[in-house]
Every structure is written in structure tokens, then in C-alpha cells.
């Protein structure tokens, strides 16, 4: 692998599997470094395409999303790094697919637990094709001031503290990703900072080794010294020992192999990483530290002494004039995310919606403050739910039962009424349930089913003003308004609407007062004297009885009643109820496999 630079300030990556946070962290790092182009050129999210909105500094940018690796590589031929956030199950296959793309040069595999046999095949393929694999089980790597893989180096605060927004002179390579964060900090304290840092991952077979990266750093002029953090287990460090002995490394190497404490345990101990267990004396931290020391690396006597060793090595290079002072820059401020700022109480933001009837944020949804479990456990009915969501209060049982009776009685009135007819025609035109339903619902209005609110308004006004039925009806006639709630296409004085009778009987039995309904009946008596079809219809019955419910239940004050009548809640009862029937008609037509409806010519009067 030992060429040189893996990344630059122009490097762009393809990111496999959409993970909002690590991508945003890469883009924030880009902004901090003053990159002109985002380091993520495209996202591969198997099976979906489009764009993902993310921030590049203060601006929102749309990053293309591709459904396949091939599509992403051909759309972004200059993106040569592949950051693989696939699970351990699919990491090998997706890595191999990426390595096979001519445009991809470096692949970082984040997943832990990739089968070792698969990793070996990936390594063999990458070596044969001159490509670099970082990982598996890695956090990635970073070139200070230029390019960062995923979550490497953690939060923006940490990156700023470790001065990773501008290059220093130290090449760092470690097995552990967590420890590399620690070391970025240490190195920033005692040197001019990191030039490049790589975590090779803690698996037994890493895609690239400690010595691979040290030899590569050796060829990068900006890197003046190397820091290596190995760990017990495996023999990777010995290839570095060989390279040092063979004189292939010309820059100072400060090294430490952690895990010296393993000897304190009586039996073999598996540390955090798959590869971190001492298989024998040669693989112990002590043996590897000794070998590195003998090969010429600066190896301290303990981890605590590592910081001092790095400082001394760095200061010596400065004294020798091999390191020039780094030009310090002040990184730009990354705007804080609104949600984070709100959570910390730093800012407040106005809401865009106000809602008072339900709340789904807690453990369980609540309707007007009543938890769902109470609604189920205490046997609430649909009428109770309507009371809570429409009127924001629990109404007495006789009221909620009345609501339920209205729903049941208005659920359907056969296939010939306007709404059902439209629904049937729509369903037969091959449309879906929602289209068929709404085409029927859209017929509900002042003539069909939607006269309840107007009936309530006019009856209330007439009754409250003390108008006689004669004065009311004739007054309406003068204004050219048909009395809402009066009249029906098929019901007559001698063929009354059973629904109206049922509602009246219920209310007379259960309501404390039915004064508005009795007034409506007097109006009907008068209209029937004019024409036999001018009966009190179902809309008129519900409209007048709901006035009685509002006024007689003691649950609403006068302004509330006026508001309900003015806003017009009551057509909602018909809309809700008739939806049940219209859905039934849709299913019925589909079940009967009815063909496209065409109205017969004979039933149309063609005239000029």
C-alpha cells in the first residue's frame, strides 16, 4: 500500500447506508476546515433514490441518494472513497461491489463482526487491485483540515479542541477508534497536531495494517513523526518491527502497545476488540513493546509516559529545524442545530401549529387529556370519543348514546341517494377506496345530508326570537330560503322517516328538555299543511335535538352553544356516519366486480 496521501481537501466520498449523524458530522468538519465542496458527494441507500437535505455550514444542501453502488459511482466518478456503514451482514458484499468499481480507491468498513473469511477475500482483492481498505470494525480516519470519515474524532467541540481543522506534523495510526480520540487530544497538547490519523480497526484481520500506514506516512513530506498505538494480540506490530529494522522508516516513531495489564489475569482475557487477546508470549503487549524498542522506535515504559515521549520527540525535531511552526487559524463557528439549542434552553422558537384535542407525545396517546388505556379499560364508546375530540369534554352517557344513535341511523340510506350513487359510480370506474369514499362525501351539502347545521341555526334563531312556525316559515319563504331540515324526496306525511321517529322517541325519554325539537315538530305541522313532502327530515331532527342536548345537558354555557352552532359541528355527524355506508358501497361494488357505469341514453333528455 505504501504510496502516500490517501486524502486531500478535495477528496469526496460515497456514503453507503443513510446515517444522518455521521454524514452531518463530516459536513460540519468540512465547513470547519473551509472546504469548498462537501466531502460527501452521494449517498447509497439500497432501494431508494432522491435527495437528502443536510447542512453545509449555514446552508442546506441536497445530497443525491442512489439505490445502487454502480449508479452512485457512475454519477460521481471523482468520488474515490467509499464509506461503508452497512451492517456486519451486508458489509462484505457491499465492500466487494465497491472495490470492483474502477472509481473507488479507498474503502472504510465501519461494521464490527464481519466474518473473517470474507475480510480475507476483501484484503486479497484490494491488494491485487492496488486499493486500500480501512477496517472492518473501525471508526475510520481523518486528514486534519481536509477530510474525515464518519464519526472519527467525535463531536465538533472535540475536533476543535484537538485542532483537527488544520494540519499538523504527526501521522498517527491506532487499532482502536476510541483510543484514537484520546490520542488526538494528547498529540494536540504536546505537538503541533495531527496530519493524518487512522484507526485500522480491532479485528484479527484488518484491511490495512499499522505498518502499512506508517510506511505510507513515511512518504508524506508533511508528516515529520509517527505515533503508533498497538494492542496485545496478533502479530501486526512485528511487520512494523521488520520495517524499522530494514531501515524502511526514516522518521521517528513513538509507539506503545497497550494491554500490559493482561499479565495480571490468571487466564487469557479477551479485551474489547476481536483481535485483542494474548495468544502467547509473542503476542503480549510486553513482547511487542520490547521488539519495537529494540527496532528503534521510541517506546515509553508505560502508557502514562507516552505523552512525554511524544513531546520529547516532537521538541527534538523542532530543535533540529525539521518542523516549522504551524500557522494557527481560527475555525469558523458551526451554527448550532435548532433542536439542540432549544433543548439546552439557549433559544426559543415559535410553534407553527396549535392543537388542543389530543396529545401523542407521552407514553400513550390522550384524547382531551384522557389516556387511551382509560378509554379502553372503562368501556368508552364512539360517542365518548367524539365528545372528547369534538367537544373536548366527557358528556353524560345519554348524550354520547344519542351521538351513537345518530351515527348508526345515518350510516346508510340505500344506493340511490346522492352520496352512495357517486361512490358506486366511482368504484365502478376502477378507483380506489379513498377516491370512491370522497366522491360520495363531496355530495354532502345543503340539500343532501349537510343541512343539520343550518337546521340548528335557523330553528334556534326562530325559537329564541319567539317566532311562531307560521312567521318563521313564511319569513324564510320571503327570503327565498328553503327551511333546512324540512322536506324529503321520498318521505311524506303519511310515510314518515322512521329515523326521525326513533331519534324523537329516544330524546323524549332521556333528554331533560326537548323544546327545540318540539318547535321543529310545530314547524313540520305547518309545512305539511302546505305540501305532503315537507316533513321534518333526519337533518332537521338531529339539528333540533342537538340544540336540546347542548342547552339541556348543563355541559355547555351559552357562548359555547352559540360558537358550536356558528362554527357548524353537526354536519360532521352525517359526514362521519355516512362514511361507513360509502365505504360499504365501495366494497360491495368491488366484490360484485361491477363494470364501468354508463348512464343509459334513454334516461337523458337530449334537447337544444
413 is an active site residue: no
Query: Which helix (H) or strand (E) element contains residue 254?
Result: strand 253-258
Query: Shortest distance, CB of residue 529 to ligand Q5B, whole angstroms?
Result: 12
Residue list 540-559, contact with ligand Q5B (CB under 6 A):
540
Query: Which residue among 19, 293, 447, 515 contacts ligand Q5B (CB under 6 A)?
Result: 447
Residue 452 grid cell: 343539520
Query: Shortest distance, CB of residue 423 to ligand Q5B, whole angstroms?
Result: 12
Q: Which is nearer to ligand Q5B, 254 or 520 (CB)?
A: 520
Query: Which helix (H) or strand (E) element contains residue 133?
Result: strand 132-134
**Pairing relationship of beta strands 13-16 and 253-258 according to DSSP bridges:** unpaired
Query: Which residue among 93, 338, 382, 531 contacts ligand Q5B (CB under 6 A)?
Result: 531
Query: Shortest distance, CB of residue 455 to ligand Q5B, whole angstroms?
Result: 6
Stretch that binds ligand Q5B, among 175-183, 261-269, 477-485, 549-557 (CB under 6 A): 477-485
Q: Which is nearer to ligand Q5B, 172 or 516 (CB)?
A: 516
| Per-residue DSSP letter, 495 | B
Q: Which is nearer to ligand Q5B, 277 or 413 (CB)?
A: 413
Residue 37 grid cell: 465542496
Angular region, 593: left φ>0, alpha ψ -120 to 50, beta rest:
left
Spatial CA neighbour of 453 closest among 363, 567, 577: 567
Query: Which helix (H) or strand (E) element contains residue 257?
Result: strand 253-258
The C-alpha atoms of residue 141 and residue 151 are separated, in whole angstroms, by: 9
Does the CA dihedral 103-108-113-116 come out positive or negative?
A: positive
Verify binding: residue 533, ligand Q5B, rule CB under 6 A.
yes
Query: Which residue among 92, 254, 483, 507 contacts ligand Q5B (CB under 6 A)?
Result: 483
Query: Which residue among 485, 504, 546, 577 contacts ligand Q5B (CB under 6 A)?
Result: 485
The C-alpha atoms of residue 166 and residue 154 are separated, in whole angstroms, by: 16
The CB density around residue 370, as the number of other CB atoms within 10 Å, is 17
Size of the site for ligand Q5B (CB under 6 A): 21
Among residues 66, 273, 488, 585, which one is catalytic? 273
Identify whether the C-beta of residue 545 lies closer than 8 Å to the C-beta of residue 524: no
Residue 329 grid cell: 487559524
Verify binding: residue 488, ligand Q5B, rule CB under 6 A.
yes
Verify binding: residue 537, ligand Q5B, rule CB under 6 A.
yes
Identify whether the C-beta of residue 198 lies closer than 8 Å to the C-beta of residue 141: yes
Q: Which is nearer to ligand Q5B, 119 or 443 (CB)?
A: 443
Query: Which residue among 417, 437, 550, 564 contacts ligand Q5B (CB under 6 A)?
Result: 417
| Per-residue DSSP letter, 362 | S
Verify binding: residue 424, ligand Q5B, rule CB under 6 A.
no
Verify binding: residue 216, ligand Q5B, rule CB under 6 A.
no
Verify binding: residue 538, ligand Q5B, rule CB under 6 A.
yes
Residues assigned a catalytic role: 273
Chain positions contacting ligand Q5B, by CB under 6 A: 413, 417, 447-449, 451, 482-489, 531, 533-534, 537-540
Amino acid at each position: 500500500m505504501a504510496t502516500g496521501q490517501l486524502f486531500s481537501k478535495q477528496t469526496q466520498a460515497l456514503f453507503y447506508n443513510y446515517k444522518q449523524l455521521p454524514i452531518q458530522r463530516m459536513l460540519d468538519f468540512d465547513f470547519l476546515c473551509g472546504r469548498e465542496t462537501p466531502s460527501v458527494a452521494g449517498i447509497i441507500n439500497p432501494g431508494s433514490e432522491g435527495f437528502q437535505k443536510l447542512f453545509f455550514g449555514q446552508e442546506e444542501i441536497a445530497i443525491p441518494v442512489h439505490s445502487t453502488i454502480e449508479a452512485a459511482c457512475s454519477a460521481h466518478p471523482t468520488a474515490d472513497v467509499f464509506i461503508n456503514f452497512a451492517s456486519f451482514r451486508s458489509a462484505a458484499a457491499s465492500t466487494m461491489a465497491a472495490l470492483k468499481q474502477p472509481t473507488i480507491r479507498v474503502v472504510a468498513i465501519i461494521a464490527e463482526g464481519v466474518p473473517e473469511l470474507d475480510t480475507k477475500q476483501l484484503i486479497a482483492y484490494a491488494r491485487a487491485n492496488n486499493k486500500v481498505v480501512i477496517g472492518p470494525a473501525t471508526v475510520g480516519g481523518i486528514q486534519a483540515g481536509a477530510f474525515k470519515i464518519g464519526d472519527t474524532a467525535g463531536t465538533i467541540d472535540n475536533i476543535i479542541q484537538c485542532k483537527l481543522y488544520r494540519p499538523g506534523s504527526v501521522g498517527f495510526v491506532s487499532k482502536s477508534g476510541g483510543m484514537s480520540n484520546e490520542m488526538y487530544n494528547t498529540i494536540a497538547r504536546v505537538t503541533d497536531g495531527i496530519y493524518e490519523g487512522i484507526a485500522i480497526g480491532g479485528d484479527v484481520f484488518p484491511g490495512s495494517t499499522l505498518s502499512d500506514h506508517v510506511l505510507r506516512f513515511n512518504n508524506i513530506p508533511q508528516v515529520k513523526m509517527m505515533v503508533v498505538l498497538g494492542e496485545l494480540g496478533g502479530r501486526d506490530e512485528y511487520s512494523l518491527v521488520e520495517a524499522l529494522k530494514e531501515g524502511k522508516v526514516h522518521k521517528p516513531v513513538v509507539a506503545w502497545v497497550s494491554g500490559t495489564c493482561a499479565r495480571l489475569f490468571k487466564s487469557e482475557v479477551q479485551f474489547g476488540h476481536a483481535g485483542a487477546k494474548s495468544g502467547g508470549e509473542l503476542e503480549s503487549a510486553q513482547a511487542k513493546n520490547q521488539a519495537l524498542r529494540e527496532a528503534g522506535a521510541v517506546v515509553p515504559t508505560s502508557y502514562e509516559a507516552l505523552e512525554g515521549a511524544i513531546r520529547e520527540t516532537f521538541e527534538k525535531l523542532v530543535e533540529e529545524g525539521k518542523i516549522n511552526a504551524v500557522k494557527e487559524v481560527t475555525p469558523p463557528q458551526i451554527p448550532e442545530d435548532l433542536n439542540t439549542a432549544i433543548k439546552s434552553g439557549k433559544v426559543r422558537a415559535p410553534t407553527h401549529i396549535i392543537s388542543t384535542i389530543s396529545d401523542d407525545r407521552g407514553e400513550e396517546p390522550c384524547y382531551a387529556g384522557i389516556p387511551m388505556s382509560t378509554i379502553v379499560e372503562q368501556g368508552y364508546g364512539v360517542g365518548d370519543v367524539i365528545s372528547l375530540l369534538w367537544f373536548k369534554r366527557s358528556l353524560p352517557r345519554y348524550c354520547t348514546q344519542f351521538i351513537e344513535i345518530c351515527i348508526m341511523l345515518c350510516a346508510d340510506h340505500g344506493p340511490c341517494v346522492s352520496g352512495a350513487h357517486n361512490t358506486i359510480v366511482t368504484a365502478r370506474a376502477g378507483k380506489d377506496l379513498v377516491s370512491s369514499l370522497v366522491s360520495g362525501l363531496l355530495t354532502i351539502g345543503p340539500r343532501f345530508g349537510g343541512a343539520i347545521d343550518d337546521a340548528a341555526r335557523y330553528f334556534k334563531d326562530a325559537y329564541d326570537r319567539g317566532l311562531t312556525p307560521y312567521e318563521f316559515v313564511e319569513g324564510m319563504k320571503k327570503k327565498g330560503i328553503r327551511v333546512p331540515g324540512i322536506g324529503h324526496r321520498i318521505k311524506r306525511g303519511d310515510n314518515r322517516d322512521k329515523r326521525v321517529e326513533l331519534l324523537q322517541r329516544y330524546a323524549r325519554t332521556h333528554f331533560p328538555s326537548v323544546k327545540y325539537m318540539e318547535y321543529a315538530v310545530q314547524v313540520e305541522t305547518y309545512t305539511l299543511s302546505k305540501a305532503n313532502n315537507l316533513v321534518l327530515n333526519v337533518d332537521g331532527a338531529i339539528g333540533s335535538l342537538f340544540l336540546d342536548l347542548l342547552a339541556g345537558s348543563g355541559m355547555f354555557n351559552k357562548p359555547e352553544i352559540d360558537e358550536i352552532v356558528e362554527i357548524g359541528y353537526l354536519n360532521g355527524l352525517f359526514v362521519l356516519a355516512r362514511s361507513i355506508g360509502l365505504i360499504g358501497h365501495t366494497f360491495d361494488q368491488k366484490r360484485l366486480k361491477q363494470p364501468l357505469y354508463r348512464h343509459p341514453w334513454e334516461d337523458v333528455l337530449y334537447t337544444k
